[in-house]
Amino acid sequence: MVHGYKGVTFHNWAETYGCCPEMYYQPTSVEEIREVLALARQQNKRVKVVGGGHSPSDIACTDGFMIHMGKMNRILQVDTEKKQVTVEAGILLADLNPQLDKHGLALSNLGAVSDVTAAGVIGSGTHNTGIKHGILATQVVALTLLTADGTVLECSESHNARMFQAVRVHLGCLGVILTVTLQCVPQFHLQETSFPSTLREVLDNLDSHLKKSEYFRFLWFPHSENVSVIYQDHTNKPPSSSSNWFWDYAVGFYLLEFLLWISTFLPGLVGWINRFFFWLLFTRKKESSNLSYKIFTYECRFKQHVQDWAIPREKTKEVLLELKAVLEAHPKVVAHFPVEVRFSRGDDILLSPCFQRDSCYMNIIMYRPYGKDVSRLDYWLAYETIMKKVGGRPHWAKAHNCTRKDFEKMYPAFPKFCAIREQLDPTGMFLNAYLEKVFY
């Protein structure tokens, strides 16, 4: 008999969203999850599955039953010949990456945060950068799903192929992911090189930058022309680091947080802070090299609000210049650094933000110094307006103001996904307030 807890409060990592589920479960087996779903059917309760809790939105919140997958976190099989690994859905990438390394394997691409689960990163459409690389869900070759009625479905290109197209980016609304099989590559090292540039230079030479580096991204510092270009590429160089506690923490975290807190009283300081920190930390060329997963992932130090939309890649220049023009025309609208710009290859996953098109992701951020919320609504609205105008699609894990009408325009396969969702979960057991806005 699975044991549940009352009185648990759930918060996401940034502490921007939270909820008090009626019951909180930490199952250790498929049978225990089945018990929770059977109880939910009997009592007409909704169920929400959570992993690392990193999504900066309310996608994981519920007042019904919450299932935390942290105890279903084993590696089930490593096939070194096929270079594939099968894992339980609750394994954290922070635990998986070193284990893959022991087998001489690695994932070809990873997001910045590693305290996230295998099922969570695929289900929310998590991405990194590299125009030859898709979002993380494109590395999935098979998975198993427990549906609302307790049936286990095996999905891959050869089994339940129609479901497989949907379930790789599942939004937590199709059932409970039990296992995930990921396609790996041989272990590799990366060299990261960062150097200063200008927005005009990067946008005028975008194709050249994309060709020069396998994992290219750049950081724009709003209220300026300043850009930090970041290349990550395969290397045979031994591990080396340019990190420094004084600059990375004393200045890059503690001083920055204090100045951003001051700017909540004097918003005009934000432009100066952006330019000052670029001059202080980003005007020198920096190089470091290490195992791929140690270069891909880094620590998110600040609690923050973020938006991250995928737009057609060819719209990158137009959108960034328009965002810059809006900020220049409205000096009272302030934007923290950086605007992070990344790229992903198109795919055929029904609700992937990169569905049928190569994409540019544009991530904007407003920090919460010492947990204090900063005025951001004008910036958010200006950004969303531009994104919608060019056919943008929001990152599923991050907060946005879109409704079903928007998604029907954005996603050619939206009706197909809805039909699959209604087939797998006809009573809406796996819905919550966030998902109701998406589907109703």
Residues 46-85: tens digit of each pLDDT: 999 999 998 989 999 999 999 999 999 999 999 999 999 9
Retrieve residue 159's tokens: 């089994």
Quote the percentage of the chain above a pLDDT of 90: 92
Quote the percentage of the chain above a pLDDT of 70: 100
pLDDT at 300: 77
Q: pLDDT band for position 119 (50/70/90)?
A: very high
Q: pLDDT band for position 16 (50/70/90)?
A: confident
* pLDDT, average across residues 183-212: 98
User: In this model, does residue 247 exceed pLDDT 90?
Assistant: no
pLDDT at 252: 85
Residue whose structure tokens are 């890649």: 313
Q: pLDDT band for position 33 (50/70/90)?
A: very high
pTM of the model: 0.96
Mean of pLDDT over the chain: 96
* pLDDT, average across residues 208-230: 98
pLDDT digits over 89-116, tens only? 999 999 999 999 999 999 999 999 999 9
Q: Which of 133-147, 202-216, 246-260 has the weakest average pLDDT?
A: 246-260
User: In this model, does residue 204 exceed pLDDT 80?
Assistant: yes
pLDDT digits over 254-312, tens only? 999 999 999 999 999 999 999 999 999 999 999 999 999 999 998 777 889 999 999 99
* pLDDT, average across residues 177-200: 98
pLDDT at 2: 87
User: In this model, does residue 248 exceed pLDDT 90?
Assistant: no
Helix axes 316-329, 377-389, angle to 10 degrees: 150
pLDDT at 244: 82
* pLDDT, average across residues 179-191: 98
Query: What is the rounded distance in angstroms from the CA atom of residue 100 to the CA atom of residue 108?
Result: 12
Q: Which of 7-21, 29-43, 355-369 has the weakest average pLDDT?
A: 7-21
pLDDT at 134: 98
For every residue of the chain, which 3-state class applies, written as one string?
Answer: CCCEECCCCEECCCCCCEECCCEEECCCCHHHHHHHHHHHHHHCCCEEEECCCCCCCCCCCCCCEEEECCCCCCEEEEECCCCEEEEECCCEHHHHHHHHHHCCEECCCCCCCCCCEHHHHHHCCCCCCECCCCCHHHHEEEEEEECCCCCEEEEECCCCHHHHHHHCCCCCCCCEEEEEEEECEECCEEEEEEEEEEHHHHHHCHHHHHHHCCEEEEEECCCCCEEEEEEEEEECCCCECCCCHHHHHHHHHHHHHHHHHHHCCCCCHHHHHHHHHHHHHCCCCEEEEEEHHHHHCCCCCCCEEEEEEEEEHHHHHHHHHHHHHHHHHCCCCCCCCCEEEEEECCECCCCCCCECCCEEEEEEEEECHHHCCCCCHHHHHHHHHHHHHCCCEECCCCCCCCCHHHHHHHCCCHHHHHHHHHHHCCCCCCCCHHHHHHHC
Q: pLDDT band for position 389 (50/70/90)?
A: very high
